[in-house]
Structure formats: structure tokens, C-alpha cells
Structure 1
Amino acid sequence: MSATATDPNIKHLKQAREQIAKGDLKNAALTLNKANAKWPQDPRVFMLGGLLAEKSGNIKGAFEALRKAVSLSPDWGPGLLELALLLARQNQFQEAVETAEKVAALEPKNLQVLAGVVDIAHRAGHTEMAVRHLRRGLELVPGDVMLRRLLARDLSEQGHHEDSLAMWAALIAENPADTQSLVGRVQACLAAGKPADAQPDTTALLALAPQDAVYQYYDQLARGETPAQQPSELTQPLFDNMAEFYDLHMVRSLKYQLPKQVAEKITARYPDKKLNVLDLGCGTGLLGVCLGRLDGFLIGVDVSTKMVEQAARHNVYDRFHTVNLHDALRETPGGLYQAITALDVFIYAGDLTEAIPNAYRVLADDGMLVFSCETASETGPDLVLLPTGRYAHKRSHVEALCKAAGFDTVDIEETVLRHESHQPVNGFVVTAHKPA
């Protein structure tokens, strides 16, 4: 007997899934309606209905449909997994983790479930959970390269550097041209505070791709040098992966208040909001949300397409440019903006010897530049690359750059930029004024 004869819905369900994947949401809804008419209590229909609702932007409807699927079949793995993934995508991590653990217990040998559970653990920042399930995965598929790479990265993040380096060494021994594993071991060496140990790997990477900006960056680090800036090829995927949960993570978890504080500073000076603003490193648009609509234009610049997509949803920015801020400043005509902001972005941009003079040029007379930096020791170099992978700047050096560029007043306020691992990250906010 055929599967279609025993399961009259399977044809409609397969068709609806394909339509959802293609973005043909209208016809997918029609197909699911046909399936629901055949079997009104089929949990699979509600599960796909949840995926359809989420893709159309109806998050409330997605939760309702997926919770209905779970209520109809409480121990059905696929329905529970999709609910857990939706919870994670919506930053509801506690319930997401609890639901994921339930699915993992129900279907301990299902590799698709394993992948989803590990993804949820990573989204939730629950590295211990990810490690535990990755080890379980390697019991199911010993030697799996992807699982071993993920486990090696997570072990490094947990501070288990020797275990991580041993795993990377084994992967590279099996395939010396495995660039992902070579980069992984470089990152593990840096995290372990052993940059010189990464030199053989950066040399091997550059032999494979001499012009690769990321390999060049890591090679400088391995040689004890401080690169002038991070390549966008490194930062873009980092922020693309963070885009969906960035707002909640930064504001709630890291207590990030700079956009609100800087928006208040700008509107205090321009209460009628008649100004043009260039938001460098706009991310998901937190500054724009705090500023609201302007009687002028608000332009966002960010290397991450995913971040820009999130920022566009707020409907306050007039235009976006997906380029790094150095290129954006270099290519922007002079005198266009009353305010330029760069909040929590110079920590990735590095050397500011060109950025600050270019910002001065781009500002209109009487304009203001507002930016933040993490604090480097006054007794050390002007620019420091921290173990976190972010740059810290010496306050006196930044002030000197602003004065040299032509700013007539430079106010510097020391502050806590955000919290990480429950510890404050110290920095300073610069407000530089261009003469009228």
C-alpha cells in the first residue's frame, strides 16, 4: 500500500513545505487549508502553519499554530523542535532551552534534532549545553568533522584551551589543507594567549590564499603586531549571525544604554529635529529608534546586511549603505551632516587617524561628532587589541586626533559602555564640536 493511500495529507504537506521554502506563501496557505479539510486535527498542518505565519511576519500566529501542534501531539519531536527554534529566534531562551532538552530526550538518535538543539544552545549562549549535545552527537557519528569543529570552538570559548587545541590538531592532521580547522586553531591559540603558536597555521593559510584579508589579519596577530583595523570579512558574518537577537541581548543582557543617551544629547541640541544624521555602525537601528523620525535624513552605515534588514524594520532610517565606516567616510561629500555618530563601532574599526579627520570634513559647520571607545591604559600604546578581539583606545590620543582634525571643543565622558559576564566594560564617550 502506498504512503499516499495510508496518509492522505502527505501530498499536501510536502507541497506546502516546498511552497513555504520558495516564499510562495499565498499558495502554501491554500494548500494547508486543503490538508486541514482532510484532517482537521493533523499536528503537521499546524506546524507548517506556524512556519508560514513566521515567514509572513505574523509571530503571534506562528506561536499559536506551533503551540496547537504541540498540544495535539505533546511528544511529537518535529513539532516540539520547531516551537523551540521559534522561541530561540524570538529570544525566549529559557523556554527554548527547556523545550529543546525535551526533544533531545524524546529523540536522542535523531541528528536533525541534535542540530536544532545545538543551534538553540548557541543562540541562548548556553555553551555547556552545546558541548554536552555535541559530545552526544559524536557518539552517534564518531569522527564527524562538522561536529568536531563546533565542539573545538565551544571548548575554547569555555576556556578548555588544551582540549580545544588537541581537537584542532587532530582535524588538521587528517586534512592539512582544511582552512576552517586551520583558522579554528589560530583562534584557539589567540584565545589561549599563545599567539606565536599560531604562526605555522597563518603561514599555511597565506600560502593557500595570499590576498585573503582575514588570513593577513591573523598573521599580524600571530607575529605580535596590532592590525590597524579588523577586516569586514571577519566582522560581517559575526554580526549577520547576531542580527536576530542583537537588540534584546545588548539592551537587556548587556545593559547597553548608549543609543538612548546619545539620542537625548542630539535632541537636546536640535529639539526641532531639523538635522541630518549619519549613524556609522548603525547595527539594528537602536539609535534610530531612540531618535525617531527627523525633519532631515537619517542614514545608516553597517557592514552587516542582516543588521541593516533589522534596522529597516523600524522605518526611521531614510537610506542604508552596507560598507565599512572607513569607506563610507572617505567617499561621502563634505558638509552634509549636522551629527555623526559611531556607537560601539570604533572598537572594531581600530585606527582612527583617518576616520576622525574624515568625519570632520563630512560634518556641516557647527556639527557634532559623537562616538564611544573602550579605554586603553594611558601608559600603553595608543591602540590596543584586547583578548576579546575588540580595540581599546587611549583617551589622550583620541582627544589629540580630534583637536588636530579641527574640532574646537572635545568633551570626553567616562562611562560604563555595557556589561559582559556580569562585569562592567569601561569606556568613554566623545562629543566633538566643529566650529560654526
Structure 2
Amino acid sequence: MAIEHFHKVLALDDTHWQAAYNLGTANLAQGNTHEAIRAYHRAAQLNPQDADIHFNLGLACKRAGQLEEARHSYLCALEIVPDDAEVHYNLALIHKELGCRAEAITSLEIAVSLNPDYGAAYGNLGVLYLDQDRVAEAIACYQRLIALDHNAISARHILAALTGETTAVAPSAYIAELFDSFSGHFEERLLVDLEYRTPWELKSLLLANPAGPVHFARLLDLGCGTGLVGQIFREITACLVGVDLSAKMVEVAAAKGVYNELAVGEIVTFLEQNQEPFDLIVAADVLIYVGELDRIFATVARGLGKNGRFLFSTERMAGPGYQLRPSGRYAHSSSYIEIMAVRHGFRILCTKEANIRKEKGKWIKGELFLLGC
């Protein structure tokens, strides 16, 4: 094995920095992150003027969650190769994770100035510009990214949102990418930073309906995410099923142990392939990633059994129809939901206006619906 070979070389010559470096790289490739860090540290002590050693040490430290150490390693690399776009880019990602947005922007701006074809840098720079409401600069970043990569699906969706184009649905790749990136700290951000209460509000709306059941044989959690809805609704169902596009979100949900069944996939496809009807289908903050709702309402109607219930939230808008907002999410009017309900054989049992979540310190206005079939 390569690792054993490099250990033998170092046993014969403990000043062999290339062997220490290669030992770090071999360990990193096999997922032995802490062993890789030790080997890279040894290589850096033996040859402190090698930028690749510092760069790879930064990669290993980031993988280990040692963000300050990673930042230090990238800064050491830049002292040796100040014009390396890749080092500036990776330093920007560390700045971003540490909450140093201004420093991240500066590093990304340097990266794209050094390499005008650096698509990933434009994508991250666009996100950071949007965080600072620098919309024109964000648009320019996404336009450049699309010019470099005509298949940049997520960038096309964000650009449409920023330029006032209303599309029918957010691409599945965009949703999966978005929530995969959030999975590690999703609930903390939702519950603490955004003061998210929608699952609890939906359950209250459901149980406040005097004509409806209070327990359900089969419940489907559409867009289950990390399993917040599952935790809250588990006590009122015998069988809880969840589906989500994000594999990383489903991993987190599975670890909670509240679902009888979990699937990774597109929600309409899942419903179309489902054989056993559900008594209740819940979609908390799911329709905000779909504009045109005909197909979802049709498949939900087919997926529900007799007297089934469809419980969901929307972001509310005053005008007719639906609209793709600069956030990349869709808002729907009450009248549009009413049209969809009638078209697909639902009765609106009750509705409630609600604050969905906070965004940049302000409440997003939404609406909760309970439909019956």
C-alpha cells in the first residue's frame, strides 16, 4: 500500500519532505483526515516554502472542520503564490463559513480577476452579492457563469428570479443542490435565525378543524427535509412516509427514527408511483419551489384516499396567479389556490394567514391551507 511505502521511506529518512507530503495525500484520499493533517504538518516543517503543502493542509483542515487552521494554511500558501486563483477561491469558502462575508467577497473578486473563466467563483460571488443586496453585481456574476456553462441550471433559475422572469417550477437540480448545502445546519438556521414555526402552525390548523379526524393511518410528508414535520406529526399517524430531493436532508431525517419509510426523489414522481393511498399529505414550505401547481394538485388528489386531507403552506401574494420572487421562491395568490382546488376536486376546509419565516429581519407573509377531497 502507498501509505505503508511512505512510512517506510520516512523511517529511513525523516527529512524526506516529499514522502511526508505524499503520505498526507494518500491518507486524505482514503478519508484518514487527521493522519493527513499530521503528515502535511510534517511536510510543511521540512519544506515551508512549498505552496502545495500548505494548500493541501488547508483542504484537510477544512474537511476536519478546523476552519481557522484551514484559513491559516491558505494564507501561508498565498505568501508563496499570491496569484493562485484556486487558493484565493478556497480561502473565500473558509471566510464564508466563518461568517466573514466581506473577506470572502474580496477573495472571490481576486480569484475571478486572476481567472476570468472561474465559474464556481462567479457562482459563490453571486450568492454573497445577493446577501448584501448588490443585485446588479449578482446578475452580472450569474450571466458570466451561464456564459461559461450553458448547463448551469441553478444559475439560470436565480437569474430568472432576479430579472423578473416567472418560470413554472424551480429545477430539481437547484432544489437538491440548495438543500444539500444546508443540511448540516438547516434546523438551527430555520428555528433560531428565521424563527420558523410553519410545521406547528399547520398541525394546529389541522387539529382545529372540528369536522376532521385527529389520527391518520398513513401520512405523507412531501419535501420532508430534515424531518421537522415528521417529529411534530408522528403522534397522529400510524405510518409516516417522507420524500425529499436532497439525499443529505433525508440522511438527517432518517437519523431521527420517526419515519416508517423514506425516499429520495422528486415528489410528483413519487406520488405517481405510489400504490397505497394516504389519509393526509403535508407539504410545509414545498410549494414555494413550484410555480404552476396543476401537476402537484393532480397527483396529490390521486394519492389521497376517500376523505383524505391536503395540508400545505404558501408564500402569499396579492395579485393573480403566481410569481417567481428574487429569493428564488414562488408566491401564490389565494385565488390561484382556490382555482387549483376546484379544478382537482378539493374542498377548502380552512385557511389561515401566517408569518412563514424571517428573511433579512423581516417576516415573509404566507398562508396555510387545509383541503379535503
| Alpha-carbon separation, structure 2, partners of 1:8 and 1:368 | 69
> Which deviations, in whole Å up to 9, do the C-alpha atoms of 1:206-262 show, x marking residues without a partner?
xxxxxxxxxxxxxxx3xxxx3322231332222222222222221211111112333
Q: CA deviation at 1:102?
A: 5.5
Partner of 1:236: 176
Which of 147, 150, 161 is the matching residue for 1:179?
A: 150
Q: Point out which structure has higher relative CO (alpha carbons under 8 A, 6+ apart).
A: 2
Q: What is the CA–CA distance in structure 2 between the aligned matches of 1:181 and 1:338, rounded to whole Å?
A: 39
State the match for 2:189 in structure 1. 249
SS in structure 2 opposite 1:373? strand
Aligned residue in 1 for 2:243: 301
Instruction: Describe the shift of the 1:262–1:79 C-alpha distance in structure 2 as closer, same or farther (beyond 3 A).
Output: farther
Map residues 15-414 of structure 1 onto 2, 5 A cutoff.
18=26, 21-22=29-30, 44=38, 87=65, 108-109=78-79, 114-123=88-97, 126-137=100-111, 141=114, 143=116, 145-146=118-119, 149-150=122-123, 152-154=125-127, 156-157=129-130, 158-163=132-137, 178-179=149-150, 190=160, 193=163, 221=165, 226-263=166-203, 275-292=217-234, 296-333=238-275, 336-377=277-318, 380-414=319-353
Rounded Cα–Cα distance in structure 2 between residues aligned with 1:310 and 1:260: 20
> Partners in 2 of 1:80 and 1:304 — Cα distance?
28
**Cα separation, 2, equivalents of 1:148 and 1:83:** 21
Identity of matched residues, %:
25
Distance 1:302 1:188 in 2: 21
Q: Any gaps of 5 or more consecutive residues in structure 2?
A: 1-8, 42-53
CA 1:116–1:10 in structure 2 vs 1: closer, same or farther (change >3 Å)? Answer: same
* Alpha-carbon offset, residue 282 of structure 1: 0.8
| Alpha-carbon contact 1:137-1:147 (below 8 Å) kept | no
How much has 1:164 moved relative to structure 2? Answer: 5.2
Aligned residues of 1:275 and 1:297 also touching (Cα < 8 A): yes
Q: What root-mean-square deviation, in Å, do the aligned CA atoms of Structure 1 and Structure 2 show?
A: 4.2
User: What amino acid maps onto 2:287 in structure 1?
Assistant: F
SS of corresponding position for 1:354: helix
Cα distance in 2 for residues equivalent to 1:280 and 1:371: 9
Distance in 1 (alpha carbons) for counterparts of 2:313 and 2:144: 42
Residue-by-residue CA offset, 1:372-430 (whole Å, 9 max, x unaligned): 001121xx221222222211111122134324433445211100000010110000110
Is the alpha carbon distance of 1:125 and 1:278 closer, same or farther for their aligned partners in structure 2, counting shifts above 3 Å?
A: farther
CA contact (8 A) 2:71 2:95 kept: no
Q: Normalized against structure 2, the TM-score is what?
A: 0.73
- The equivalent of 1:200 in structure 2 is none
Task: Please tell me the residue identity of whatever aligns with 1:119.
Answer: L
**Structure 1 unaligned blocks of 5 or more:** 36-42, 48-75, 89-95, 196-220
How far the C-alpha of 1:360 sits from its partner, in A, is 2.9
The answer to whether the Cα contact below 8 Å between 1:103 and 1:113 also exists between their aligned partners in 2 is: no
Give 3-state SS (helix, strand or coil) of 1:128's partner. helix
1:329–1:274 Cα change, 3 Å: closer
| 142-151 or 253-262, larger mean C-alpha shift | 142-151
Following the alignment from structure 2 to structure 1, what is the Cα–Cα distance between the partners of residues 167 and 157?
15
Identify which range, 319-328 or 2-11, moves more after superposition: 2-11
Q: Please give the TM-score of this superposition, normalised by the length of structure 1.
A: 0.64
